[in-house]
Amino acid sequence: MRPWRLPLQLRPGAGPGGVTVPRAGLKKLVIPPDYSGVTIPEKTKLKFMDKVPAVPKVKREPRQLRDIRGPSREATDFTQGQYGILALGGGYLHWGHFEMIRLTIGRSMNIKNMFAIWRVPAPYKPVTRKSLGHRMGGGKGPIDHYVTAVKTGRLVVEIGGRCEFEEVKPFLTQVAKKLPFPAVPISRDGLEQLRREEEEKKLNNQNPWTFERIVTANMLGMRRYLSPYDVKFQGRYWGKFFLKHRV
């Protein structure tokens, strides 16, 4: 079996076969970025999150899946850091996820020049599980573990310090792929750009029929097949999922 090799990097101006004549040009000396106003806190690594809160819950709580549904109202903007992981769907993070995030980021980041902070609380919501192999009935099961609810548009962790997005992106993507909901690494500029693009899409949409218009006017009796939440969410959210391509 011939060992598989990665294809060569694309060279600009290359002819067939990727052949180019090497040219010597003036070296463009780039001024390094200025990090003078950046303060790095003492504890740069992510805090350890408990599996169970300090005061464990006695009363079992109803499921309340509405804490996954729809857009997030907290932790949507950056506070101290410049880069972070943005959740593009709803889901629950349990202690395993927290450990994965903490260890991966702690391993990959530069402790002297970068710092990371949590933007989600430690697991607080009790989740019950019935023991395996039993039939339905017999009451609600005991508390098995605790989770944190995350809605779409919430930041999970924030990274800051004397670093660039390209340095931080690899391990943030690695973490984002392992989360139970779709997530992307993002910077302050990236978030602004996302919001701007959303606004632009709303403005330059050529389709005269929008979900909002049809639902608020209850055209064709559509409210019969939709829930009151759809009026709020304007067709962009379905269950825990976030439909990015919709306007």
Partner 1 sequence: MAALRSVAPWRGGWLPALQLVRHGSKAVTRHWKAMHFQRQKLMAVTEYLAPRPAVPPRCLGPRREAPQEDNGYAQLLRRQVEEAFRDNRMIAICQYNSMPDEDLVLMRHYLRKHNIEVKFVLNEIVRPVLSQSKYKNLLPLFVARNILLVSPEAKVREMLRVLKGVPQVNLLGACIDDTILSRQGVENFAKLPPLEAAQGQTVGALELLPSQTSSLLQRGSAHLTALLDQHIHRLQTGETGSTAEPSPAQSSGAH
Q: Does residue number 75 form part of the binding site for partner 1 (CB under 8 A)?
A: no
Facing residues of 146 across strands? 126
What are the backbone angles phi and psi of residue 90, rounded to the nearest 5°? -95, 155
Q: Which of residues 31-70 bind partner 1 (CB under 8 A)?
A: 65-66, 68-69
What's the closest the beta carbon of residue 43 comes to partner 1, in angstroms? 36
Give the Cα separation of 114 and 169 in Å (integer).
Answer: 13
Segment contacting partner 1 by CB under 8 A, of 37-45, 47-55, 80-88, 203-211: 203-211
Q: Is residue 177 near partner 1 by the rule CB under 8 A? A: no
Of the pair 134, 245, the CB lying nearest partner 1 is at 245
- Rule CB under 8 A: is residue 151 a binding residue for partner 1? no
Q: How far is the CB of 151 from partner 1 (least distance, A)?
A: 11
d(CA 105, CA 102): 6
Q: Least Å distance between CB 208 and partner 1?
A: 9
Q: Tell whether residue 210 is a contact of partner 1 (CB under 8 A).
A: yes
| Minimum CB distance to partner 1 smaller for 35 or for 229 | 229
Report CA torsion sign: 47, 52, 58, 61.
positive
Residue 90 as a binder of partner 1 (CB under 8 A): the answer is: yes
Q: Build a one-symbol-per-residue string for 214-243: x at contacts with partner 1 by CB under 8 A, - elsewhere.
A: x-------x-xxxx-x-----x--xxxx--
Nearer to partner 1, 107 or 224 (CB): 224
Minimum CB distance to partner 1 smaller for 119 or for 151: 151
Which residues of the shown chain bind partner 1 in the complex (CB under 8 A)?
A: 24-26, 28-29, 65-66, 68-69, 90, 201, 204-207, 209-211, 214, 222, 224-227, 229, 235, 238-241, 245-247
